[in-house]
Structure 1
């Protein structure tokens, strides 16, 4: 994905000089800037008809990654533990995986701390980017194990669905957990529908038979 942040056109006698103007303007390293050539420079006859180079420059994923690194480090300074992490961009998703000692404090009771941290990181990076980016934070594979547990809960609930029990209400969940339910049911049980109801923090998912399936 080509993320374009603060896109702006720059002009110079050459492509290199136009790019130097972009580096000065943004105040970042050259590796954090991408550009597209709008106009190649051209020399006219006796100086008549000269054309400057014009580029459209913008901050890239490297810029976002560096900023996210700085912000995440500032958060981790408030936790006791020896942590290491990786940040990977995959399309419009940012995957952050953390390992180390003292991960329990990062996860928090019922996963509340990891949920809050992901929310904060999402707000931070989306304020920098004009492209909507989804942030997924996993600490010690907590999210992966949590996802497998949610799949199990959904499968067990769906087994109880029948003509007499047309819908099942799941227990209240965090927003990222509800999203897992919606995506899993849509993918594995296309004959069923899901809906979120209620107010935070007690919002829950309803799984129900589709109208066509009930009639059948």
Structure 2
């Protein structure tokens, strides 16, 4: 899966989301480069478009079987641990600065660390946590994206950063999976397609995976940009 794909959208963020959905990974797992960025034409007519090339990061793909060099095994593990710790320290520092600057009564803590990802949870005042999460988790997603990029750039590594606040992500995923199953049952009864509201690439992926093994329905995404959504359709 080392091949590149090309996508085009109205903004860089939307193009990244589309590429992530097509490749079946999170945006943090992408390598990408902007191929073309066009602005509105004469008299402000036309649309802004961003075209980019993207692929799954080699470190996030299933590794091919190779012979193990046991002489370098310990050194590699130590380097990996050092990289992860560097990212964790950067993430904690950045998040705490943001909490302090915003005047939030909240603090981050490391939940887990590995050579591939760092998971962080933010706990604190419920009102402040709600502001961090934002509408449909959009603020939390933006925070995770920016902190991940900044921490990796600061530490010179490539580790995925996952940020939760007040246990929102687990609750949201469970609720979304339940809603997907309920709508799927309606589709089976009526034989008619059902359309979800527009969602982020992350939420669309949750719906796709929740119904991936259902023998009676299938899912696909349609629409562009902020209007992209999941459709649940019966298998005839």
Q: TM-score, normalised by structure 2?
A: 0.56
Aligned equivalents of 2:151, 2:222: Cα separation in 1: 28
Correspondence for 1:189: 214
Aligned length: 157
Aligned equivalents of 1:115, 1:144: Cα separation in 2: 14
Deviations 1:116-149 (A, max 9, x none): 1122233334544346x2x332211122221222
Q: TM-score, normalised by structure 1?
A: 0.61
Displacement over 6 Å in runs of 4+: none
1:106 aligns with 2:106: no
1:129 aligns with 2:157: yes
Pick closer, same or farther for the CA change 1:182–1:93 going to 2, 3 Å. farther
CA contact (8 A) 1:103 1:140 kept: yes
| Bigger share in helix | 2
Shift of 1:108: 2.0
Gapped regions of structure 1 (runs ≥ 5): 1-35, 39-54
CA RMSD of aligned residues (A): 2.8
Deviations 1:157-187 (A, max 9, x none): 101213863532111112221121122222x
Deviations 1:7-34 (A, max 9, x none): xxxxxxxxxxxxxxxxxxxxxxxxxxxx
Gapped regions of structure 2 (runs ≥ 5): 1-69
Matches within 5 A, 1:49-68: 58=79, 59-68=82-91
Kindly name which structure, 1 or 2, has the bigger radius of gyration based on alpha carbons.
1
CA contact (8 A) 1:79 1:105 kept: no
Aligned equivalents of 1:90, 1:84: Cα separation in 2: 21
The 3-state SS of whatever aligns with 1:161 is helix
